[in-house]
Chain A
Amino acid sequence: MSQVRTSDNSIEPMISLSGVGKWYGAFQALDSINMSVAKGEKIVLCGPSGSGKSTLIRCINHLEAYQKGDIHVGGIRLGHGSKVIDAVRREVGMVFQQFNLFPHLTVLQNCMLAPMRTLGLNKPQAEGRARTLLERVKISEQAEKYPAQLSGGQQQRVAIARALCMRPKAMLFDEPTSALDPEMVKEVLDTMIALAEEGMTMICVTHEMGFARQVADRIVFMASGVIVEEAPPAEFFSNPKHERTRKFLGEVLGRH
């Protein structure tokens, strides 16, 4: 149920957050976050370090609990019951800055584990699916290797394939290229661009502004736990409304 038609005949968003508040002890990391991501939409989430970007996307698959507001994913309200959380996690793939491949499993096994254990695929089905997706991230010849035998860029592409093996309806990326050597950034971004072109719903935390310009439907800028502004890339880069956004853009674009 990726699209749920409501009475006014509008299409319900794939992911929506309304009034989400999150505290770490007394520290408020997210404050009244409202955000809506339509099916097939690509969002780039940016902002200074510590602004709450990771926290926000980690709330969407409930790696972090939040204390206020509501999150809906694919029509499911993300409550706190473990059944619902598991259901949402099966629908949403996540890619981490540090890849987090399982070191004791081969590339192929990394991709087969969750589909077999959570979707109930048998071994040939899971392997077929894994090989197809490894092909898609152009790494099929490494299927029998272990993560430690791959470069960072290759590992991150495997991580993307591993998430895709769950056939998710949306993908979350948390700074997927920040831990990479510069020469490997492109191969990962190209993989993400290809995924975007296939119509995947994506939320990407990244400081790769070239990628944002090329792929994003909207750029969301956060600071200190709030969404400061959001706009399509052209407008975001040419006409940022807030001082904090201008300052951030100056820093990020200055570096490139």
Chain B
Amino acid sequence: MNYTLDFTPVIDGLPNLLWACLGTFTLAISGMLLAIVIGIGGVILRQSRVKLLRWLVIGFVELIRNTPFLVQIFFIYFALPLAGIRLDPTPTAIIALGINGGAYAIEIIRGGVQSISKGQTEAGLALGLHKAQVFRLIILKPALRTIYPSLTSQFILLTLTTSIASAISAYELTSVSQRIESDSFRSFEVYFTVTVFYLVISWVMMRIFAFFSARYFSYPLR
């Protein structure tokens, strides 16, 4: 073992790598927002009176949770163009991340909604609120609070999953680092640096989640 460390290619590529971190952030945040919309929307449809809608949601969740993410992203990127839907790598990655994270979010949020006592719904209905208002104004926030830890770890996972978007050459940290590595053959230096960057990105995400928790979920429980 007489490997000499040489970080020069990493340092030369630093501006690129930092921009790529921003790309990763963009994918993660956009994917998450889409996942939340799908998650909450899915939970609403899952409770619908219409059986077909309920089954569509169940089918969607099963389909997504039982197939590999790589196949899902390939499907959107390579198969949908054959149906006339052609998307760039970045939108493709955001949609794939949102759909994938959304399927998990549906199950997580649904658990939260079920954990809220029926008395809350009844109190809302007895005050003359509609079912939709009860869900939005009374159930949703306490439900999200109970499952917030699960949801955040799912979203950290989503953040790390952005690296799979390198398979369609989306602009993010892993694909940029692969390019630097294959130009320089400095595998250790490049992937060591990238590992540290991902750690920092995860940490920043957790700070963001903690901020929202303190902002919205700090009402006392007992």
Q: Please determine whether chains A and B interact with each other in the same assembly.
A: yes
B115 at interface by CB-CB < 8 Å: no
Known: A103-B142, A148-B222. A114 touches B129 (CB 8 A): yes
Taking A113-B137, A148-B222 as contacts, is the C-beta distance between A118 and B129 under 8 angstroms?
yes
Q: Looking at the complex, which one of A89, A100, A104, A146 makes contact with B128 (CB distance below 8 Å)?
A: A89
Contact B126 A148 (CB under 8 A): no
Q: Shortest CB–CB separation between residue A3 and chain B, in angstroms?
A: 22
Instruction: Say whether B219 contacts A63, CB under 8 Å.
Output: no
Query: B127, A146: Cβ atoms under 8 Å?
Result: no
13 other contacts beyond A96-B123, A104-B145, A148-B219, with CB at 8 A cut-off? A63-B126, A82-B130, A86-B130, A89-B125, A90-B128, A92-B126, A94-B126, A96-B122, A102-B138, A104-B141, A114-B129, A146-B219, A166-B128
Which B residues contact A (CB, under 8 angstroms)?
Answer: 117, 119-120, 122-130, 133, 137-138, 141-142, 145, 219-222
4 shortest A-B CB distances, which residue pairs?
A114-B127, A100-B123, A94-B126, A100-B119
- Specify which chain B residues have a CB less than 8 angstroms from the CB of A61 in the assembled complex: 126
In contact, A100 and B219 (Cβ under 8 angstroms): no
Residues of chain A within 8 A of B142, CB atoms compared: 103-104
Given contacts A96-B119, A96-B123, A117-B137, contact A103 B128 (CB under 8 A): no
* A118–B219 touching, CB < 8 Å: no
Interface residue A51 (Cβ < 8 Å from any Cβ of B): no
Find out whether the CB atom of A86 lies under 8 angstroms from the CB atom of B128: yes
Do A118 and B128 form a contact, CB below 8 Å, given A102-B138, A104-B142? yes
- Give the chain A neighbours of B127 by CB distance below 8 A: 89, 113-114, 118, 162-163, 166
Main secondary structure of the interface of B (DSSP, over half): helix
Structural contact, B129 and A103, CB atoms closer than 8 A = no
Measured CB to CB, the residues of A under 8 A from B are 61, 63, 82, 86, 89-90, 92-94, 96, 98, 100-104, 113-114, 117-118, 146, 148-149, 159, 162-163, 166
Q: Can you give 18 contacting A-B residue pairs, CB < 8 Å?
A: A61-B126, A63-B122, A82-B130, A90-B128, A92-B126, A98-B117, A100-B119, A101-B123, A104-B145, A104-B219, A114-B129, A117-B133, A118-B128, A148-B219, A149-B220, A159-B123, A163-B126, A163-B127
Contacts of B137 in A (CB 8 A): 113, 117
Whole-angstrom distance between the Cβ of B63 and the nearest chain A Cβ: 34
B119, B123, B128, B220: most-surrounded residue (chain A CB, <10 A): B128
Bound-complex Cα distance A148 to B68 (A): 44
Nearest residue (CB) in A for B221 is: A148
Closest chain-B Cβ to A23's Cβ sits at a distance in Å of 20
List B contacts of A104 (CB < 8 A): 141-142, 145, 219
Q: How far is the CA of A61 from the CA of B127 in the complex (A)?
A: 10
Q: Please give, as numbers and ranges, the residues of chain B lying within 8 Å of A89 by CB-CB distance.
A: 125-128
Chain A nearest CB, measured from B136 CB (Å): 10
Give every chain B residue within 8 A of A113 (Cβ-Cβ).
127, 129, 137
Question: Closest Cβ of chain A: how far from B115's Cβ, in Å?
Answer: 13
